[in-house]
Structure 1
Amino acid sequence: MREIVETLVLTILMFVIINLAVQNYDVDGPSMEPSLHNKERIMVDKVSYHLHDPARGDVIVFIAPPDPELNYVKRIIGVPGDVITIQGTVVKVNNTVLQESYVSPSYQGNPYLPIVNKVVPKDSFFVMGDDRKNSSDSRLWGFVPRTNIVGRAALVYWPLNDGNSGFLPDVSGVFAHVPVKAANINNVSSSSPLKDSTFGMDEVIFFAMPGLFLVCSRYRKKR
């Protein structure tokens, strides 16, 4: 009876932790092609941004500033203090031209007016869709407040095809030569250096916690 109760408690605990840590979303629309396809299902990591700042290159889900009833999925291009310039299809961050491997030539374009030396404010982010011709993003409606961010898109789990299933690719190399901060803005968080997009040990440890807890419990019983 005790083992049954412990198993039920552990199951409930794992369910609660997993639901607090991750959330499932359906991609609606082509704005992140070819990285994410319409109707794909993605798993969003809601915990890692409590451990470190959002980074350039991260694909995030957030409450849409133009319509708080909707959630958008886009890629972070600029973080607080960055200076953004976009002229045609050329994107510059802190006067560094990005060679964006995640933007396919067939989806390249810019239907919006040029942006010149726009500074990303404190606690805000500049985001763009990978489908530059068909994305409603920061080029149109401005910055995403940090409080709007739900979490980071960690992996595609359905359907398992199209060559992009599993964890989203690491694109940190695109931003490797971008200076950390170009503009001086008041009270920019500097508790730790901004780091580029990876699925780091913080997230691995968190997602492993329920399993480790269960293994330790079983080991204690055997002893």
Structure 2
Amino acid sequence: MSQQEENLNVTQTQVPGTQKVYYKKKSTLREYLEAFIIAFVLALIIKTFLIQAFKIPSSSMEPTLLVGDHLLVNKFIYKFKDPHPGDIIVFKFPDDPKRDFIKRIIGAPGDTVEVRDKKVYVNDKELLEPYAIHEDPEVFPKERSVRDNFGPVTVPKDAYFAMGDNRDRSWDGRFWNNSFVKRKDIIGKAFIIYWSWKPDKEAPSLNEETSLTDRLNSYLKLTWYNLSHFKDRVRWERFAKIIA
């Protein structure tokens, strides 16, 4: 057999009564199709059971997570252990399960959580939170808002109480109709930032409701703008940053 024949991706058939061997090469289209199917199945398995990517759309988790951060979420870790206070989790929003939220766990099942004048207490002990910030120095009384004075509430079985690190700008368990995140609704634990793209108010907007020509033109303008400002918009220092 020649070297050329050995390198072929083939099936072979022996013709009765002869010594000739025939080779049938797979079509290029079939090879591409098989590769696509394998890649699709692997991606589906990874997204469903292992790791999923998310993008941060708001400032509710600043300074830990910034608008434009792209992160990976470990979806299988809580199959082997329980979520723990301090974990940053992605979960189905209790008031609207079609939406995904990201917050930090403050209270575990059985814990009593209370906010007094912006300070968080768990089981009547003040929680030390080097990650939390308060942008507004004003303290709201409970009669006006639960932002700075909330609870106490006791976390039920198989549920967690979660808050954003940016306490004055976070829509979290203090405000929801259903204050607690059920364990079954936790998607996974955020663990690393793989990309961070700084928002830019000067960037051209996309025109989705106009003609095809206008939409194409707006895409081209945005692409050119992003390429020309690429170096300035990427937060290089946040690449491969572990989330804690």
Select the residue among 174, 180, 185 that pairs with 1:139.
Answer: 174
- 1:40 Cα deviation after fit: 1.4
Amino acid at match of 1:19: K
Larger RCO, structure (CA 8 Å, separation 6 or more):
1
Q: Distance in 2 between matches of 1:25 and 1:74?
A: 13
Within-5 A mapping of 1:63-212: 63-106=92-135, 112-113=145-146, 114-141=149-176, 142-159=179-196, 161=235, 163-170=237-244
Q: How well do the aligned residues superpose, as a CA RMSD in angstroms?
A: 2.8
Judge conservation of contact 2:150–2:174 (CA < 8 Å) in 1. Answer: yes
Q: Distance in 1 between matches of 2:151 and 2:72?
A: 35
Query: What secondary structure sits across from 2:174 in the alignment?
Result: helix
Select the residue among 37, 41, 46 that pairs with 1:18.
Answer: 46
- 1:136 Cα deviation after fit: 0.7
Query: What secondary structure sits across from 1:28 in the alignment?
Result: coil
- 1:95 Cα deviation after fit: 1.5
Judge conservation of contact 1:76–1:127 (CA < 8 Å) in 2. Answer: yes
Q: Distance in 1 between matches of 2:168 and 2:56?
A: 17
Query: What secondary structure sits across from 1:125 in the alignment?
Result: strand
Q: Distance in 1 between matches of 2:102 and 2:137?
A: 18
Amino acid at match of 2:193: V
Q: Percent identity?
A: 34
- 1:92 Cα deviation after fit: 0.6
- 1:70 Cα deviation after fit: 1.2
Judge conservation of contact 1:31–1:131 (CA < 8 Å) in 2. Answer: yes
Judge conservation of contact 1:29–1:38 (CA < 8 Å) in 2. Answer: yes
- 1:145 Cα deviation after fit: 1.0
TM-score, length-normalised on structure 1? 0.65
Judge conservation of contact 2:61–2:165 (CA < 8 Å) in 1. Answer: yes
Q: Distance in 1 between matches of 2:139 and 2:78?
A: 30
Query: What secondary structure sits across from 2:184 in the alignment?
Result: helix
Query: Which consecutive unaligned segments of at least 5 residues does structure 2 have?
Result: 1-8, 11-30, 197-233
TM-score, length-normalised on structure 2? 0.60
Amino acid at match of 1:18: I
Judge conservation of contact 1:79–1:126 (CA < 8 Å) in 2. Answer: yes
The count of aligned residue pairs is 168
Larger radius of gyration: 2
Q: Which has the higher strand share?
A: 2
Q: Distance in 2 between matches of 1:46 and 1:101?
A: 26
The answer to whether structure 1 residue 52 and structure 2 residue 87 are counterparts is no
